[in-house]
Each structure stands twice: as C-alpha cells, then as structure tokens.
A and B are shown apart, each in its own frame.
Chain A
C-alpha cells in the first residue's frame, strides 16, 4: 500500500527546487587556460604573461594514457623553470588534462597525475613548491574538439597558468 506521505514527498521536492536554483555560486575563478597567447612571437613585453605563453610555452603534451614527460616536454619545462626563476613574483597553477578516450573519474585522476608530473619536474629545477598549485580537469576542458588523433594529442596536456594578479 502506498503511504500518503510518500505521495506528497514529490510535491515538497517540486516546491523547493526553486530554492536550489537560488544557490548563487561565484563565477569560476580559474583563469582561462584554453587560449594560448595570440600575439606575434617576440612582441610580448618581457616578463609578461603573454611573454610566458608565446616565448616560453605554457603547455606540455603526453602520450595516450601516459603521465611520463617526453624529452620535448622536459625541454619546455626547463624553459618554464628558467623563466619562472627570473620572474619570481608569479604564482601559478599547473592544470592537468586528459583526452576524451577514458571514463570521467579515471580521467580526473589521470589529469591529476599529469599536473603532478609537471609540478614535480619544476620543483626538481628549483621552483618553490609554495608558488604552485595543481588542478585536474580530466576530460572536461578540451582545447581541440574533433574526434580524432589530431585533437586528442593536443588535449592530453599540462598547462602552467600564471595566476592573474600575482
């Protein structure tokens, strides 16, 4: 037998959903890392965020389902470490990303491993851990949006994002 309380519960749910909508969350404060600098190389002011993105390179790429830093990635991170040493005023976040060919939860963990790999490498090159944060976006923030290998390889990345205002 169905109890009346259970039938009425649905009504209460309907009534409070409007309150759920009223939950106001602040805008996502994570800086936009999806758009690399667009100015011509070399035109950026030395020491600026644009300089870092254009002349140093803010991101490294990974092989499929791998968190190992390639020789190219290590070279990029070496340049990042030099630049970050020269410009000690910046704090920054290392974002880890995965391509879409994995399940959501695993990709969050995989992105975390990638950001950790880049972070650990920067520390090994003398960057203070206290300047860095890491975050994983899993497969939630692709930069390239086709469904083939040309896009997947761009999305498997760790991006060093200089914090605005630092």
Chain B
C-alpha cells in the first residue's frame, strides 16, 4: 500500500521547516498500546526489529547503514531493548512508505519495528525519515523526517533513537547528548590531561585543550555551549569558563585564591564553586551576567562538590564539618545546612538528578569506592557498584543512567550504569578517561 496523496503533499510542505512528522499510514489513529514500563524492577528488554534504512540512491547506502547501526546500538545499550538479529528477518524493506507485512515480524516476535529511509536532496542535504510500528497492533506509533547536512548523520541517528525511546517508554531519551571528560595520557606521576568531548556512545572524540595545563572536573552549562572546569594555568589554579563554539576562555571571578569544583546552575546563569581560604574551603556563587560573587558558607571545614537542585532552590554539597565527608543540603541562598547522608562511611561528589528524584554520590567505606544514590531527603540510600576505585557520577539528561569513572589500577575508564544498578557498560575512549560530565539533550 502506498502512502496517500495528501500525506505526500504534507511532507513536501514540511521541507522548508526542516523537520516534521510523517503522516500515519495506517487508517486508525495509533493507540499507545505498546509501552515499555521502565519503572519496574527488572523489565525484559523489548524485542525490536531495525531493518537497514532504505537508501534513496546507492550513494546513500553507507549513511543508511550507519544510521541504522547507531540507532540499534543506542537502543541495545539502554538495556531496555533487544534488537533482533537481522538474519532472522524475512521481509526486506525496500520502501519505507509502505505498510510492512506485520505477520513476517510477528513470527520473529518483534514487538516494535523501525523502518526508515535516507535520501540526498537536490540541495545536498540529507533527508532522514523513520516510522515506528507496533507489530502486534499493526499500527504506526510514530513517524518523523529530518533534514541535515551529510556530516551530521550521527546526530540524526541519535535524535531518531530518542524519538523511539520516548514513544516506547513515555520518557525522554538521552541519546542526542555529549560527554565532556578528561582524556589522560602518559605515566601516572606525569599525567597529561586534556579536556575532550564526545557523543554519549563514546564516538567522535575531539580535544578542547592541548594538555599544557592540568585540567580537572569539566561540567556542562545546561543551557549553552559552555564548559566550566578547573585548570592549573600560569598562576594559581582557578575555575575557568570555556565557550566550545568560539574557543574563548576566561577565569571565573576575581577570587583571592584557588577556586575549584565548579558547577552551573540549572538555568546556566550562575557558577557555584569552592574557594580555598587558608586551611578551609567555602562555597561561593558567581552570577555570570553581573559578575557578582556571593559567599554561601563560612565554616572551618572543607565544603566542596556543590550542585544545584534542578529547580534551583537548593544546593547539595559535601563537607567534613561533622568530622567526615558527608552530603548536606541547604537553600540556594545559603543558610542552615542539613546533613542527609547517614549510610556507612564517607559520602562525596554529590550530584542532583535532572529529574530531582535522586542525588548520586561517591561512597567510601572499608577501602572501597562505590557509586550510589539516595533521595534528597536522605532516605533510600543504595550502592549501585562498589570496588577500588569508582568515582564521580554524572546523570544522563533523563536521570535514568549514570556515568562515572573506574580505575582498577591500570588507569581510569568511563562506565555507565542504570540508576536501578543494572546494565553496567564500559564506554570506549581513545585513551584513559576520567571526570565525565553529561550534557543536556542537544535538541
């Protein structure tokens, strides 16, 4: 069955807009019949079929193959989907505008099916289309098309992955996002550290600094293409701001000593950080527009690792004011701080989930370093992974996955784990890697 004439016209109209929804081919409106519950304890991965996207012309075959493969990889790594081996497919999709033979996909137990097409446009851009099908209901659940330049096909694959994830789980995805991290080379006592950025799947690493200066703890601005990080430059170690679009770099604030452990507020307008003052470290915030700085804590202690709640009302941080490193929560304007971590051992590097439901941390007990989560009220502490040595969690934009670094003695590497504690995966990097920070969704 060919797509009807009206739908064709609508799609043509959408070309100028750059992206749009593909009209459903099925006559009935799609019911949200196929839904993966990801809040359950141990969901079975959903079998999904991803036949290779159709190439509009032989020249687009490689891009079509790559886009399909990236989508399949994303969905598989999420742990929520089980892409079916293409060798089992009996229907060959040659036209993504036709309704698939659902019986052929039911027989291999595919619950969801994704078809798509990559076509080069007369102006040189790529058009990427996909349709997501509920195989058992025989309905189209989603259909969209995107236009982009040819060098941008990875992003289209990530965006399509997010659309599939969102339709099937009811939650936003996290695939169209990036990781900034510290690339490490050279011997441990003379480690060269460079800021690097890559796609969330570990592909496309690019370097943002050359390695002349020691750089640590990069963090994304949630609302723009900026990174804040600590660097040992020509003078004292300081918190810096780097615009990754222009390459411009500046020192944050005019503080009379070492600043470290920076993080942006959720609106991207402020940077919160530690300032060393003699033997103590206290929390300060700088408004990026007015450049005004405000002291938030004044204690004879090490207050560091500050992080805003997503609504901007609270700050969590670590402090040894009670004798050992523990997590505290206080109002964003300062004031009384409540200790919230009471589990075994020390708790540090707190980071608030973008969903607001958890604070992740590095736990230290009995010589082991764990990645854990607890609720902002301190209840429900759970360790997700333990060993020597795990450190520095960062949340995916949807709050479902954490990335952290692990050093078993051979140098650090990056890993992800679901907040449920399942699905631990190593993320490939060109060399040793530490201090990951997850960007927000790019689109």
Interface residues of A (CB under 8 A from B): 1-4, 6-14, 16-17, 19-30, 34, 67, 100-106, 108-110, 112-113, 116-117, 135-138, 140-145, 147
Question: Which chain B residues lie closer than 8 Å to A22 at the CB level?
Answer: 247
**B410 to chain A: closest residue by CB:** A147
Asked if B189 and A13 make an inter-chain contact with CB atoms under 8 angstroms apart, the answer reads no
Interface size class for chain B?
35 or more
- Counted as pairs of residues, one from A and one from B, with CB atoms less than 8 Å apart, the total is 176
Asked if B281 and A109 make an inter-chain contact with CB atoms under 8 angstroms apart, the answer reads yes
Contact partner of B304 among A19, A26, A105, CB < 8 A? A105
Contact partner of A109 among B187, B246, B276, B407, CB < 8 A? B276
Most central of A4, A8, A109 by chain B CB within 10 Å: A109
Cα-based distance from A42 to B407 in the complex (angstroms): 41
Most central of A21, A25, A117, A147 by chain B CB within 10 Å: A25
**Nearest chain A CB to B136 CB, angstrom units:** 28
**Nearest chain B CB to A100 CB, angstrom units:** 7
Asked if B276 and A136 make an inter-chain contact with CB atoms under 8 angstroms apart, the answer reads yes
**Nearest chain B CB to A113 CB, angstrom units:** 5
Interface flags, B241-270, vs A, CB<8A=1, else 0: 010111101000000001011000000000
Contact partner of A112 among B216, B279, B367, B407, CB < 8 A? B279
Interface residues of B (CB under 8 A from A): 17-21, 144, 146-149, 151-152, 155-156, 159, 187-191, 193, 197, 206-210, 212-214, 216-217, 225, 230, 232-234, 236-237, 242, 244-247, 249, 258, 260-261, 274, 276, 278-281, 302, 304-305, 318, 320, 325, 348-349, 362, 364, 367, 388-389, 391-392, 407, 409, 435, 442-443
Question: Which chain B residues lie closer than 8 Å to A9 at the CB level?
Answer: 225, 442
Question: Which chain B residues lie closer than 8 Å to A16 at the CB level?
Answer: 244-247
**Nearest chain A CB to B152 CB, angstrom units:** 6
**Nearest chain B CB to A96 CB, angstrom units:** 10
Contact partner of B147 among A4, A142, A145, CB < 8 A? A4
Question: Which chain A residues lie closer than 8 Å to B190 at the CB level?
Answer: 34
Once A103-B391, A104-B392 are accepted as A-B contacts, the answer to whether A116 and B279 lie under 8 Å apart by CB is: yes
Asked if A10 and B246 make an inter-chain contact with CB atoms under 8 angstroms apart, the answer reads no
A-B contact pairs, 30 of them (CB 8 A): A1-B144, A4-B17, A4-B18, A6-B443, A7-B155, A11-B149, A12-B245, A19-B247, A20-B208, A20-B244, A20-B247, A25-B210, A25-B234, A28-B213, A67-B279, A100-B389, A103-B325, A103-B349, A104-B349, A105-B217, A105-B260, A106-B320, A106-B348, A108-B304, A109-B304, A135-B237, A136-B276, A138-B216, A140-B193, A144-B189
